[in-house]
Amino acid sequence: MTRAEAEAVVGGSLAIDGDSAWKDCDYTPDDHLPPGAQVMVESGTVARIDIDDGTIATAEGAHIGDSEERIRRLCAGRVVTTPHTYTDGHYLTVRPSAAADSLFRIVFETDKDHVKLYRAGRLPPVEYVEGCA
């Protein structure tokens, strides 16, 4: 989604210092977003949404605090589990069921037991471990 489309959805400006980040990679201000949500932009479009707090749920009903098992049940047959880069936890990467959405993923980060944060977006930015770094 473009900046104009994203601003229409959130009902406010997503301007970033100098707006150069809309050409590169950065996170928009979160003034107009629900608590715990961040929007990553890259190459002029929204690349992913990060959720690190709050009660925001996915379309399937998954949210922070859910067990790994619940994520596997909600997204049965579409979850790939890999070791977390920095902790003893896991990445639970969910592939979409619709072929038209094959360039998108949801990535849940866990502590081995429960979801600590998650992000949804397009490949490859959704799989960036350190955000825009």
Domain boundaries, the chain: 3-127
Residue-wise burial string across 90-117, b where 16 or more C-beta atoms lie within 10 A, e elsewhere: bbbbbeeeeeeeeebbbbbbbeeebbbe
- State the Cα–Cα distance between residues 10 and 30, nearest whole angstrom: 10
Per-residue model confidence (pLDDT) at position 26 = 87
Tens-binned pLDDT, residue by residue, of the chain (133 aa):
887 888 888 888 787 766 555 668 888 888 888 999 999 988 888 999 999 998 999 999 999 999 999 999 999 999 999 999 999 999 999 999 999 999 999 999 999 999 999 999 999 999 999 998 7
- Please tell me whether the overall predicted TM-score, pTM, comes out greater than 0.75 for this model: yes
